[in-house]
């Protein structure tokens, strides 16, 4: 399970990943830009990244996606001031680029499949014409 915390004052131990949670820009229900703190900032941040990954990899199970979030998180270790344990800082750019690459692969696969389909249609038309 991916555990989240807000950037400052966390007392939770053994965090899998950490996300920004202090002065994170976001919009309120009226569309006003505000700065958010705590899990109100960090949870949607990671949830959005997870949703982005899920849309790129719909066949993966939740646990696999959580693992991707952790494994693909940045090389920046965040050291807990209280016990010296390390956690990985979630890397939004790296995870977004990963999802983007997958979408590009899917787009290329679709183009290739369309080419194959057109070739099959042409061959079938030739066969039909020969039979006539």
Contact in structure between 89 and 103 (CB atoms under 8 Å): no
Is residue 16 one of the residues assigned to a domain? no
Range of the domain at 66: 24-103
Is 72 contained in some domain?
yes
Cβ neighbours around 71 below 10 Å, total: 9
Window from 3-12, 26-35, 71-80, 111-120 with minimum mean pLDDT: 3-12
Q: What is the mean pLDDT of the chain?
A: 77
Rounded average pLDDT over 70-83: 63
DSSP state of 65: H
Query: Pick from 32, 36, 10: which is nearest to 23 by CA?
Result: 36
- pLDDT, tens digit, for every residue of 13-63? 566 777 887 788 888 899 999 998 887 788 888 888 888 888 888 888 878
Query: pTM to 2 decimals?
Result: 0.59
DSSP type of residue 83 = T
How sure is the predictor about 104, in pLDDT bands with cuts at 50, 70 and 90?
Answer: confident
Please report whether residue 17 resides in a domain.
Answer: no
**How many domains does the structure of the chain reveal?**
1
Cα dihedral 56/60/62/66 (nearest 10): -70
Q: At 3, is the pLDDT very low, low, confident or very high (cuts 50, 70, 90)?
A: very low
CA R_g for the chain? 23
Handedness of CA 65, 50, 87, 13 (dihedral sign): negative
β-bridge partners, 24: 36
> What was the pLDDT predicted at 82?
53
51 within domain boundaries: yes
Residue 120 counted as domain residue: no
- pLDDT (0 to 100) of residue 106: 81
Tell whether 64 is covered by a domain. yes
pLDDT tens column, 108-122: 888 888 888 888 888
What is the band of 83 on the pLDDT scale with cuts at 50, 70, 90? low
50 falls within a domain: yes
Q: Given pLDDT bands bounded at 50, 70 and 90, which one contains residue 90?
A: confident
Residue 36 is assigned to a structural domain of this protein: yes
Half-sphere exposure of 75 (CA within 13 A, CB side): 0
Helices within the chain (DSSP H only): 39-56, 62-71, 92-131
């Amino acid at each position: 399970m991916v555990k989240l915390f807000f950037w400052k004052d966390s007392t939770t131990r053994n965090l899998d990943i950490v996300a920004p949670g202090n002065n994170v820009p976001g919009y309120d229900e009226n569309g006003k830009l505000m700065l958010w703190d705590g899990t109100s900032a960090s949870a949607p941040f990671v949830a959005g990244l997870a949703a982005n990954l899920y849309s790129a990899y719909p066949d993966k199970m939740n646990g696999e996606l959580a693992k991707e979030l952790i494994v693909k998180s940045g090389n920046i270790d965040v050291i807990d001031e209280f016990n010296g344990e390390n956690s990985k800082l979630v890397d939004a750019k790296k995870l977004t680029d990963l999802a983007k690459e997958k979408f590009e692969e899917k787009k290329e696969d679709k183009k290739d499949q369309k080419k194959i389909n057109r070739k099959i249609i042409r061959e079938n038309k030739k066969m039909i014409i020969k039979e006539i």
